[in-house]
Amino acid sequence: MKRYWVVLLLIMSISVARVARADGVTRVPAEQLAEAIAAAEPGDTIEVTGGVFHGNLVVDKTLTLIGLDGATLDAGNKGTVLRIEAPDSTVRGFTVRNSGDSLDREDSGIIIAGPRGLVEDNVLENVLFGIYINAAPGTIVRGNHITGKELDIARRGDLMRLWDSDDVLIENNVTRNGRDAVLWYSERMTLRNNDFSHGRYGLHFMYCDDATMEGNRLTYNSVGAYLMYGRRMILRDNLIAFNRGPSGYGVGLKDMDDSVITGNRILDNRVGAFVDGSPRELNSTGIVRNNLFAYNDIAIEMLPSVRHNLISDNSFIENEQQIVVAGGGQLRDNEWTVSDRGNYWSDYAGYDGDADGVGEIAYRAERLLDNLLGSRPELRLFLYSPVVNAVDFAARAFPLVRPQPILVDEKPLTQPVMPTAAPLPIDAGEGELWPVFLLPLALLALFIILRVGRRRYHMPSPLATQTGGLSHGE
């Protein structure tokens, strides 16, 4: 009788295995994942039902791997956790952690080395490089949360890296505490609704054409986005804020042709946008339109050789310096008025006589200190000092000492144009501090209302409406 039950159980187990094979779906705990991959046929699905796989995995056939119940892949701080070599493979729902720390070997959380891969909804923790797309065109990377190793920033890896991979979609990912998000030698990429923060370069493009970056948050990095040696790049509806490293650029453009910068909120960076040799080709044009530059040390810094940019319908609000020419000089052959519309300047002192939203006199950037700071940036120490204010007043009052204007906007706008980019972030853990700030603010507001009675105030700053009252320190 005992022998009968043993034989029956053996037959049932074989039958179940055959059914799983027939359906192309296998369910295993994480500890058995390597064996399941070895036994699977191309096109199969493996559902991993919890547990922890220890070691390094290679997927060398087309498979779909689905992590359930907290399934975890752990490399034990050695090498790459998961390498996908087969085309059309999917990895979804895993915790991937503890890669090695060798920059030379490019130890990564996940390497995608086969075309048309799909990596989505994974959590990567304590990895050197995050997700590395290496010669894998048509890949989609979506909805992953990636945290780097606790190392000095120069020793960290890139939490998003793309090499020689066209037609890639990267969307809804979050990276924290990495080095860069680097994209090289690739075409027709889309980066949408990602959050790249607390690194060195939020985005760094080199030799890429026809890429679109929209709806991303690039905050608290040394540099928000730096675009180099490419064509037809679109930077649209992004939040680029609080990037204050040694260079501290919100956006950097180096030898970029036919780029379009539009609809972005560029806030509280050392330099909002830095432009060097862009556009490069004589028959190319750069477009900077409908952006908000606010509370930056410098809104836009350009080299004097920069030509052929169309800059209109932007709002320049309360930047310490609106425009700087690096090395000194004037900006020539750039258009600051397009289709009879210029830009909004918060320091514009003109008027709108016919209420058409356009000032009746030109905006002239001709502060003496702005001219000096282009060639002597160390003089910034004296910004807003009484001596500088006196010199500026004298330059305005006496034409003999008035400097040549850096730029002239013939049709300045009298009302700001506000883009609808991504909202300002609240870092993890900061949200619970809101009650501490809200109570005293509410009491202060009540005191002001009671104190001033019916006194009418000016309308609130349009920037405050856009940012919801958040600031760098909140």
CA 450 to each of CA 295, 444, 454, 455: distance values in angstroms, whole numbers, following the listed order = 31, 10, 9, 10
SS3 469: coil
| Annotation: CATH topology of 20-186 | Pectate Lyase C-like (2.160.20)
Q: Is the model's pLDDT at 142 over the cut of 60? A: yes
Strand 123-127 to 145-148 pairing = parallel
pLDDT tens for each residue of 9-46: 444 444 334 334 547 899 999 999 999 999 999 999 99
Cα(436)–Cα(440) distance, integer angstroms? 8
The reported pLDDT for the residue numbered 425 is 61
The reported pLDDT for the residue numbered 448 is 53
Phi, psi dihedrals of residue 268, rounded to the nearest 5°: 55, 45
The reported pLDDT for the residue numbered 434 is 43
Domain ranges of the chain: 20-186, 434-467
The reported pLDDT for the residue numbered 208 is 98
Among 96, 108, 114, residue whose Cα is nearest residue 48: 96
Angle between helical axes of 368-375 and 386-397 (0-180°, round to 10):
120
Q: How confident is the model at residue 7 (pLDDT cuts 50, 70, 90)?
A: very low
At position 397, the amino acid (one-letter code) is A
pLDDT tens for each residue of 211-230: 999 999 999 999 999 999 99
The reported pLDDT for the residue numbered 420 is 75
Q: Is the model's pLDDT at 396 over the cut of 90? A: no
pLDDT tens for each residue of 287-298: 999 999 999 999
Counting every residue written for the chain, the total comes to 474
pLDDT tens for each residue of 313-329: 999 999 999 999 987 77
The reported pLDDT for the residue numbered 405 is 84
Cα(73)–Cα(54) distance, integer angstroms? 6
Q: What is the DSSP string of 107-136?
A: -EEEEE-STT-EEES-EEEEESEEEEEES-
Q: How confident is the model at residue 86 (pLDDT cuts 50, 70, 90)?
A: very high
**Averaged pLDDT, 134-150:** 98
Cα(81)–Cα(72) distance, integer angstroms? 10
